[in-house]
Every structure is written in C-alpha cells, then in structure tokens.
Amino acid sequence: MDIQFYGANCLSLSYKTTRIVLDDNLKQLGKKNILRNGDVALYTTSSVGITDVEPRLIIDSPGEYEVSDISINGIEARAHTDESGTNQAVMYKISVADINLLITGHIFPELNDNQLEAVGMIDVLVIPVGGHGYTLDPKGALTIIKELEPKLIIPTHYDDKSLKFPVPQMSLAEALSELGMEPREPLSKLRLKAADLSEVTQLVVLKSD
C-alpha cells in the first residue's frame, strides 16, 4: 500500500489498481483537487459537490463497504465542533493487505465504547494536529493515540503556506513538539507492508505534493 499526502486532511491510498482519496477539498483552500476519474472518494464530513470528475464510488456516511481487496468501515463520530450527542463526522477504518488503518478526520477527542469496539486494533493512525478550534490539537490527538495505541502515526492538517485555511493552523514543528514524538525522516511517499510495522510506535511525516 502506498500513502501520499497533499496537504490539509487530503491523502491518497493506492493498492494494486485501486486508489482511495480522502477529503479532497484542496480547491477550496487554494490548490488543485487531486481526485481523478475512477478513484474511490472518502469524506469525513459530507461530500462537497464533485462535478468535474467521475469517481468510482463516493462514501461520506457510516457503513461497511468493499472495494476490490479493500474493506472500508465508516464509523459515526462526533465532529470537533459538534455539541454533545451530535455525530456529523465519519471515521474510516481501512483494512488492506493485513494492515488496519484509521483515518479520524476532525473528530472530538473522546471515543465511546461502541466506537472503540468498531475501530478495534489498528496499525496506522492518520490524525489532524492543527488545532485552534478547527480540528484536533496535539493534546486531543494524544488522547486518541493513547486509546488506540497504533504502531504508526501520520499527522495531517497543520500549517501549510500553499493553503489558505479559514482558521490558522499550528505549525508542524510546534505540533510535533507538543506531541513529544520524534518523527522519522520525512517521506514523499510511504510504501507500507505489514512486515514493516514495528511494535514501537513511530511517527512519520509525509511531505505534501
């Protein structure tokens, strides 16, 4: 499985002939969208009018989905700005090639027992860290990390001079300092196999394209 990061909360996961694109709202933030015809589009909040491409599938709600050799479980969650009892966000657990990956999106940093059961054991956690009331900050991210104990963490949604966020985001350096974790050497693309995963939790920074 190949993972690439494009800024904000947007990344792609490629496995064999299937490409999954998460939260491609880059055009709204000043860059070009990356979604292509035939991609599987996932949105952690409701999808925003896709008119210029024809995805293979659009998923923006809870449920279980199968795409080729990939299993996708959309798990209902409270958005970071939701009031208690309201769940307008979706987390995605993606299982492929003996790797379980969770993409949280902009969730509130408290998971209930039903959510934890649905998530189960995960290997890779993709989680925002930009904070400032817009999304999870490092403190909230650490709460999720301690609950889930992933083997690999990929931070997203931090300050990026090529993007125009509606709310300024924390810099990556500041977020990493508050997380208290030393990242591996930044990568342009993460090529991941189950055998590559360590029992010691690692943090990987992906360079945005």
pLDDT of residue 50: 63
- 209 domain-assigned: no
Q: Report the SS3 class of residue 134.
A: coil
Quick one: which of 194, 9, 18 has its CA closest to 92? 9
Mean pLDDT over 12-19 rounds to 96
pTM: 0.95
User: What range does the domain containing 115 cover?
Assistant: 2-203
Retrieve residue 23's tokens: 């939260």
Which ranges of the chain would DSSP assign to H, the alpha helix?
113-119, 138-148, 172-179
**Quick one: DSSP state of residue 33?**
-
Task: Indicate whether 42 belongs to any domain.
Answer: yes
CB atoms inside a 10 Å sphere around CB 33: 16
Which pLDDT score, from 0 to 100, does residue 174 have? 96
Residue 208 lies in a domain: no
Residues in the chain: 209
**Residue 188: which CATH number?**
3.60.15.10
Considering its fold, how many domains does the chain have in total?
Answer: 1
How would residue 83 be classed by pLDDT, with cut points 50, 70 and 90?
Answer: confident
The position carrying tokens 């995805």 is: 55
The tens digit of pLDDT for each residue in 105-145 reads 999 999 999 999 999 999 999 999 999 988 999 999 999 99
Q: What pLDDT is recorded for position 70?
A: 97
User: Could you tell me if residue 53 is inside a domain?
Assistant: yes
